[in-house]
Amino acid sequence: MKSLTKVTIISNLEVAPGAYVLSFPRSFEFVPGQVIGIAMNPADKPRLYSIASGNKENVVRILYTVKPEGKLTPDLARLHAGDTIYVSEPFGGFICDEQKAVWVATGTGIAPFSSMFYSGLGKNKTLIQGNRFANGLYFREDFEKEMGPRYVPSCTREQVDGVYHGRVLKYLSEKKDLDTSLKYYLCGSAEMVVDVRDLLIERGVPFENVVAEIFF
């Protein structure tokens, strides 16, 4: 792990039940899609989180959900503006260019794509975002405003106007005009990533055009 630096939290807002956006001043350059390690103390083992904010913004935002059994998130959720945490330099290679492509995300797997989006890489992308409930479609308003019909929100546990009802896998499997020449970027649970990757390959997308990020 890269060395850790102390940062002071600007805000730590609960954006949906159990989901938080934590922000702190940006003191490093990064490529959208990269991750940082976060720890409460310099001696702790850092946990990895994708940066969710744009690479020209003055702050770095991290999206996380509280895992009751987790080693970090219950403590993180108790922090307020002015408290400090330790962060690593950014690293990782889940990066995307300006070519037309499709982003598929579930849960907090939206973070690398929101970073790409807020960094200006969303102009010719389609974003398929899924979660169980609509309040877990993080940053939805911004995506809707900028991406219009290229943004497809979906949720599985409730029916909401303008939101596809079902899993992202189902949405893609029903899509008749799936463009097999595009690159597909996936980020979310291992199960979603593997299922969607299998589907895309089955539908004719070359496996080298399926770029998957994992949580662990």
Partner 1 sequence: MEETREALFGKTLSQLETVVKELELPRFAAAQIADWLYKKDVTAIEEMTNLSKAAREKLASRFEVGLSDPVKVQTSVDGTKKYLYRARNGKFIETAYMPERNRHTLCVSSQVGCKMGCLFCFTAKQGFQGNLSAGEILNQIRSLPEHHQLTNIVYMGMGEPFDNMEGVMQSLEILTSDYGFGMSPRRITVSTIGIIPAMKVFLEQSTCHLAVSLHSPFEEERRRLMPIEHVYSLTEVLEAIRSFPLGKQRRISFEYIVFKDLNHSPRHVKELARILNGIRCRINLLRFHPVPGTPLQAPDDATLEEFKTALENKGIVTTIRKSRGQDIYAACGLLSTKEQQVI
Calculate the CA dihedral of residues 28, 30, 34, 37 and round it to 10 degrees: -10
Least distance CB 201 / partner 1 (angstroms):
5
The residue ranges that bind partner 1 (CB under 8 A) are 1, 35, 45-46, 48, 91-94, 189-191, 193-195, 197-198, 201-202, 206-208, 210-216
Nearer to partner 1, 72 or 163 (CB): 72
CB nearer to partner 1: pick between 61 and 183: 183
Which is nearer to partner 1, 104 or 134 (by Cβ)? 104
- Please name the residue that has the structure tokens 């290229």: 150
Q: Which of 124, 130, 58 is CA-nearest to residue 96?
A: 124
Q: Based on CB atoms, which residue is closest to partner 1, 46 or 136?
A: 46
Of 90, 86, 93, 114, nearest in space to 19 by CA: 114
At closest approach, how far in Å is the CB of 167 from partner 1? Answer: 13
Least distance CB 191 / partner 1 (angstroms): 3
> What's the closest the beta carbon of residue 69 comes to partner 1, in angstroms?
11
CB of 210 to partner 1, least distance (A): 8
Alpha-carbon distance of 112 to 104, in angstroms, equals 11
Nearest to 38 by CA among 79, 69, 68: 79
Question: Of 163 and 168, which CB lies nearer to partner 1 in the complex structure?
Answer: 168
| Residue placing its CB nearer to partner 1 in the complex, 25 or 74 | 74
The radius of gyration of the chain from alpha carbons, rounded to an integer in Å, stands at: 17
CB of 159 to partner 1, least distance (A): 25
- Residue 114 DSSP code: H
Locate the DSSP E strands across 30-150: 35-39, 47-50, 59-65, 84-88, 101-106, 125-131
Q: Do the beta carbons of residue 115 and residue 145 sit within 8 Å?
A: no
Q: How far lies 168's CA from each of 81, 131, 165, 176, 193, in Å?
A: 35, 9, 9, 14, 10
